[in-house]
Amino acid sequence: MPVTDPRIDAYISKAEVFAKPILLHIRKLVHKACPDINETMKWSFPHFEYKGVICSMASFKQHCAFGFWKASIMKDPNKILQTTDRGAMGHFDRITSIKDLPADKIMIAYIKEAVALNEAGIKLPVKPKADPKKLEIPAYITTALKKNKKANSIFEAFPYSHKKEYVQWITEAKTEPTREKRIATMLEWLEEGKDRNWKYK
C-alpha cells in the first residue's frame, strides 16, 4: 500500500467534481512509477518527493495542473512538456479531464526520469543573475498590459522601481487565481496612474 498524506486526501475531497478523477489518476501514476514517493503539501497544493521534489499537482475552478520540478532538464522525447509559453501552471497546460493527460505509459516514463534525476543528485542549473537595471517581465504581464492601452502607457512611463514593484507582486503570487486577480488590480490602478504602493504614501 502506498504511503499517503491525509492532507492530500482532504485537498482532493474539496476539489471540483471534474477535478477529483484527474487528481486521483495522477496520484496513482506517481505511486506506481515510484513506490517510495513521499506526499506532502507545499504552497497549499500537493507535491510528491523522493530525494527532493519530483512533481506537483493542483486543481482550480475549471482546470487542473501538473508539473515536474526539473522539467527544464528532462529529455522530453514526446515533446509534451511546456517549459515555455505555458497557458497555465504546470507543464501540461489546462487539464480538464483525464483525456488531456498523455497515456499512462508515457506519464510513468516521465515520472521515472524525474525520479532518476534526483537519484543521481542532478540539480537545476543556476540561473544567471539578471542585470539589476534590466527588468524581466513575464509574457503574461506584457500581454495583459498590451490589451489596455492606457494602463500600458502609464506603466511604460513609470520609473524602473515602480515597474519592478508591480512585476514582483504579480510573480510572487502562489496560485494562478491570485496572479490573475493581481494583474486585474494592477491594470485598474495603472489606469488611475497609481503605483503599486500608493496606499502607503
The CATH number of the domain holding residue 83 is: 3.90.1150.200
* Angstrom distance (rounded) from CA 19 to CA 26: 11
Residue 34 in contact with residue 50, Cβ under 8 Å?
A: yes
My answer on whether 86 and 178 are in the same domain is no
My answer on whether 143 and 190 are in the same domain is yes
Containing domain of residue 162, as a range? Answer: 139-200
pTM for the model stands at 0.62
Give the HSE-up count for residue 99: Cα atoms under 13 Å, Cβ half-sphere: 3
Cell of 160: 524602473
My answer on whether 60 and 92 are in the same domain is yes
My answer on whether 16 and 105 are in the same domain is yes
My answer on whether 105 and 143 are in the same domain is no
193 within domain boundaries: yes
Amino acid in the structure at residue 180: E
Nearest to 167, CA basis, from 148, 142, 198: 142
My answer on whether 24 and 108 are in the same domain is yes
* Angstrom distance (rounded) from CA 129 to CA 113: 29
175 within domain boundaries: yes
Neighbours of 119 (CB within 10 A): 13
127 within domain boundaries: no
Please name the residues in contact with 25: beta carbons below 8 A apart, sequence gap of 6 or more: 98, 101
End-to-end CA distance of the chain: 57
* Angstrom distance (rounded) from CA 82 to CA 88: 10
Q: Which of 65, 84, 119 is the last residue of a domain?
A: 119
**What confidence tens digit (pLDDT) does each residue in 67-106 have?**
999 998 999 988 888 766 666 677 888 899 999 999 999 9
Q: What is the CA radius of gyration of the chain?
A: 19
Please name the residues in contact with 88: beta carbons below 8 A apart, sequence gap of 6 or more: 63, 65, 94, 176
44 within domain boundaries: yes
Q: What is the pLDDT along the chain (201 residues), one digit of tens a residue?
A: 678 899 999 999 999 999 999 999 999 999 999 999 999 999 889 999 999 999 999 999 999 999 999 998 999 988 888 766 666 677 888 899 999 999 999 999 999 999 999 999 999 887 766 556 678 899 999 999 999 999 999 999 888 889 999 999 999 998 999 999 999 999 999 998 889 988 775
My answer on whether 20 and 75 are in the same domain is yes
My answer on whether 62 and 159 are in the same domain is no
| Residue with grid cell 513521499, as numbered in its chain | 38
125 within domain boundaries: no
Q: Is 190 exposed, middle or buried (0-12, 13-18, 19+ CB in 10 A)?
A: buried
My answer on whether 105 and 19 are in the same domain is yes
* Angstrom distance (rounded) from CA 110 to CA 83: 14
My answer on whether 84 and 154 are in the same domain is no
My answer on whether 107 and 60 are in the same domain is yes
183 within domain boundaries: yes
Torsion sign across C-alpha atoms 116, 121, 122, 124: positive
My answer on whether 93 and 152 are in the same domain is no
Indicate the number of domains in the chain. 2
32 within domain boundaries: yes
124 within domain boundaries: no
